Amino acid sequence: MPGPTMTQYWLMKSEPDEASIDDLARAPGKRLPWTGVRNYQARNFMRDRMRVGDGVLFYHSSCAEPGVAGLAEVCRAAYPDETQFDRKSKYFDPRATREAPRWVHVDVKLVEKTRLLALRELRARPELAGMIVLRPGNRLSITPVQPQEWRAVLALLRARAEA
């Protein structure tokens, strides 16, 4: 695992009708809390491994054309997700208490809205074959991205933008 000063990279999935890259761009300070994660492995990534300054591929999922819609960065370390305490929220967890919260989230801030780098484009690139998001059956909303994968995605975004 990288030391505290090394940047790590993540792919964070969001359904655009929940929180889109445009929502992030319009948010105060261009930052949003990444609420509603209810998977222990994804929670543990946020709680134990994410650090302020880590890079994020903001990925639109469960939509007509899934893919990377922009770049963000972690701007606040993990803290309790308030939706777990809200009885009106679909993310309410009756077993969570303020003394022992079960769910956390981080805040992300916009770095850049990009063209949509579609899932089919990601799948077509041999250098990205190892990305967790491309593995059959992967449903995690947050996955680590290797530095070489991060650089390859940035190169694809730049190449198309310059063409």
Is the residue at 1 inside a domain?
no
Is the residue at 117 inside a domain?
yes
pTM: 0.93
Chain segment 110-158, per-residue pLDDT in tens: 999 999 999 999 999 999 999 999 999 888 999 999 999 999 999 999 9
Rounded to whole angstroms, the Cα distance separating 11 from 144 reads: 6
Mean pLDDT of the chain: 94
Task: Show the domain range for 30.
Answer: 9-162
Is the residue at 2 inside a domain?
no
Closest Cα partner for 70 from 14, 148, 27? 14
Structural domain count of the chain: 1
Chain segment 76-96, per-residue pLDDT in tens: 999 999 999 999 999 999 999
CATH number at residue 18: 3.10.590.10
Is the residue at 3 inside a domain?
no
